[in-house]
Amino acid sequence: MTDLAAGAALFLGALRTALLIVVGLLALVCVLDWLARTRRISPFNPIARFLRSTVDPFIAPVERRILRAGGLPSSAPWWTLGIAVLLAILILTAADFVVQQLAGAVMAFQSGPRGIFILLVEWTFAILRAALLVRVVVSWLPISPFSRWVRWAFALTEPFLAPLRQVIPTFGMLDLSPLIAYFLLGILERLFLGASTIGI
């Protein structure tokens, strides 16, 4: 188990370093591209020509979206850098989550049937809570509940939200059933985990 933990820490450290280097290099490129776009570097400079031929094709999709939204094309490098930083944070968070879940799974399998039961209960309730959060966030955005990206969240949560909606009144446009369901899921999870500790 200590070897697995050391390997996971080494992997996460290497990933963090690699992403930091990539984002740092991208930041340098984005600054140079912004300087070239705003004519702070001569457009006939070799650096500006290199950026136009090599970097600008990668930034072009971001630039098109900015133009459609009414923004300035010179801000495309900054938006690209922001997206890259956000992606790096998401990758690190996902990698850390996967490593933690794998470590938990290894410990559960070493603990026998009770450990596996606890792991499955925790994973089940974590997925249900994540589906609730996705559903709440989607309700604030112009995203269809039938979109393939969020349909799973509605499919998982509707069976227990529909009965709650019949019992819990809405306050204007505010639906409290997801909040109540979130707390009820926590109570149910503790009940299942408590039952596992007394021998079920």
Q: Could you read off the pLDDT tens digit of each residue along the chain, which spans 200 residues?
A: 567 677 878 888 999 999 999 999 999 988 988 888 888 888 788 888 888 888 888 888 888 888 888 888 888 888 889 989 999 998 998 898 888 888 888 888 888 888 888 888 889 998 999 999 989 888 887 778 888 888 999 999 999 999 998 888 877 777 888 889 999 999 999 988 887 665 54
Are 97 and 150 contained in the same domain? no
pLDDT at 54: 84
Domain extent, residue 171, equals 113-200
Q: Are residues 100 and 164 in the same domain?
A: no
Backbone dihedral angles phi then psi of residue 89, each to the nearest 5 degrees: -65, -40
Amino acid 1: pLDDT: 54
In a shared domain, residues 5 and 99: yes
Domain boundary among 96, 111, 126: 111
DSSP labels, 74-124: GGHHHHHHHHHHHHHHHHHHHHHHHHHHHHHHHHHHHH-HHHHHHHHHHHH
- Examine the domain organization and report whether 65 and 164 are in the same domain: no
Per-residue model confidence (pLDDT) at position 88: 92
The structural domain count of the chain equals 2
Which of 89, 111, 133 is the last residue before a domain boundary? Answer: 111
What pairs with residue 171 in β-bridges? 174
Last residue of a domain, one of 111, 128, 160: 111
Which pair of structure tokens corresponds to residue 24? Answer: 């740092």
